[in-house]
């Protein structure tokens, strides 16, 4: 059973080059499942961008545990976005020299320097995200302490919310970067226009945008996920099927296809719902679910299929109603996925 991600190599590479050329100071982000493409592939592609476009001296990862997946495939510096804590694993000397640690609490700096006296650090400023970071005063004091004690301060880290309109907050935070006497701001979730405006207003600061989704997944047309049809069964209304003995709501077909919870199919994070249209959609889906009908990400011949029951670990049982075309065993179904939560069995780069 195979869930396959097919990448149009020429189109994908063209997007990567274009995006890189239009994004000064870009720091690619490779974390989690590698945006569905794997961490190793993104690490190698970052090296390719450095060879092709130039200027790609740093790759960002999410956690210390992800370092081994990229360190042998990319030779440059590696930023760990999760802040350093005293329980972080000790690094081998050759890797330690390449790693830039994020420091988000004043008390962590001396503990880090006790382990690695010339550690390279990013000092994280608290933002409206309220996840990690220091106040302006703590930032300034920690930056001064870092310089006194021999740490290599690579910049200030600023992680802003996703929902755009971040320019006013970013302006205030740039003032804090200037106050810390640090020349580089590493930023997340600013638009190209916002970055350009900040660069004009703070000409003495270097901006380093950390970007993952828009870089790797920015041209969705270059990426296609498909699932193999494993079995097809005609079913009559009222006939039972599946683990839970549900009954078919109408005559139709059961389609068993590759892809299940082990791949991330059918899993989703909680979503905020705003606006009447979204709420109406949520109510409609809830009503369908109460009848045993939940829309799946699978489609065939332009028609969406329904989950006949919750996805299994490596396969999904789907329901196709009506008398229209029916897939054959071995056919491929298109699957619309959330790439950051999907791990395909096979990646084909054309």
Q: Mapping DSSP to helix (H, G, I), strand (E, B) and coil, where does residue 286 land?
A: helix
pLDDT(166) > 50:
yes
Report pTM: 0.90
Residue extents of the structural domains in the chain: 7-218, 225-345
Residue 38: what pLDDT?
97
213-245 pLDDT per residue, tens: 999 999 999 999 999 999 999 999 999 999 888
Tell me if domain 7-218 and domain 225-345 are identical in fold: no
Residue 268: what pLDDT?
54
The Cα–Cα gap between 239 and 296 comes to 21
Residue 162: what pLDDT?
84
pLDDT exceeding 70 applies to what percent of the chain? 92
253-277 pLDDT per residue, tens: 999 999 999 999 987 544 444 454 5
CATH tag, 7-218: 3.20.20.10
Residue 1: what pLDDT?
63
Contact (CB, 8 A) for 224 and 334: yes
Higher pLDDT, 327 or 292: 327
pLDDT(3) > 70:
yes
172-203 pLDDT per residue, tens: 999 999 999 999 999 999 999 999 999 999 99
Q: How many other CB atoms are there within 10 angstroms of residue 105's CB atom? A: 16
273-324 pLDDT per residue, tens: 445 454 434 333 443 444 456 899 999 998 999 999 999 999 999 999 877 8
Contact (CB, 8 A) for 252 and 235: yes
pLDDT(23) > 70:
yes
CA distances from 96 to 92, 115, 149, 264, 333 (A): 6, 11, 18, 33, 45
The two beta strands, 58-61 and 77-80, are parallel
Residue 323: what pLDDT?
78
CA distances from 315 to 171, 221, 266, 281 (A): 49, 25, 11, 27
CATH number of this structure's domain 225-345, picked from the four choices 2.40.37.10, 1.10.15.40, 3.40.309.10, 3.90.600.10: 2.40.37.10
Please name which of 272, 265, 261 lies closest in space to residue 339, comparing C-alpha atoms. 265
């Amino acid at each position: 059973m195979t869930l396959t991600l097919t990448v149009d190599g020429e189109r994908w590479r063209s997007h990567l080059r274009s995006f890189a050329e239009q994004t000064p100071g870009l720091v690619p982000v490779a974390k989690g499942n590698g945006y569905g493409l794997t961490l190793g592939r993104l690490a190698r592609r970052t090296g390719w961008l450095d060879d092709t476009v130039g200027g790609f001296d740093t790759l960002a990862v999410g956690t210390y545990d992800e370092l081994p997946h990229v360190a042998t495939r990319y030779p440059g510096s590696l930023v760990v976005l999760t802040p350093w804590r005293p329980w972080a694993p000790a690094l081998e000397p050759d890797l330690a020299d390449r790693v830039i640690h994020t420091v988000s609490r004043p008390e962590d700096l001396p503990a880090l320097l006790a382990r690695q006296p010339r550690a390279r650090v990013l000092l994280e400023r608290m933002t409206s995200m309220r996840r990690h970071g220091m106040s302006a005063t703590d930032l300034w004091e920690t930056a001064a302490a870092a310089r006194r004690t021999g740490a290599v301060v690579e910049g200030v880290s600023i992680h802003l919310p996703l929902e755009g309109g971040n320019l006013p907050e970013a302006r205030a935070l740039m003032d804090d970067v200037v106050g810390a006497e640090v020349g580089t701001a590493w930023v997340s979730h600013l638009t190209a226009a916002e970055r350009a405006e900040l660069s004009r207003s703070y000409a003495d600061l270097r901006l380093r945008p950390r970007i993952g989704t828009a870089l790797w997944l920015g041209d969705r047309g270059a990426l296609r996920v498909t699932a193999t049809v494993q079995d097809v069964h005609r079913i009559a209304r009222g006939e039972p099927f599946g683990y839970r003995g549900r009954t078919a709501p109408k005559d139709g077909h059961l389609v068993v296809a590759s892809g299940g919870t082990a791949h991330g199919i059918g899993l989703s994070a909680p979503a905020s719902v705003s606006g009447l249209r979204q709420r109406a959609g949520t109510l409609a889906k809830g009503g369908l679910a109460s009848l045993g009908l939940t829309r799946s990400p699978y489609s065939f011949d332009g028609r969406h299929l329904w989950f006949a029951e919750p996805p299994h670990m490596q396969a999904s049982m789907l329901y196709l109603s009506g008398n229209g075309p029916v897939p054959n065993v071995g056919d491929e179904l298109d699957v619309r996925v959330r790439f950051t939560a999907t791990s395909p069995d096979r990646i084909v780069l054309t």
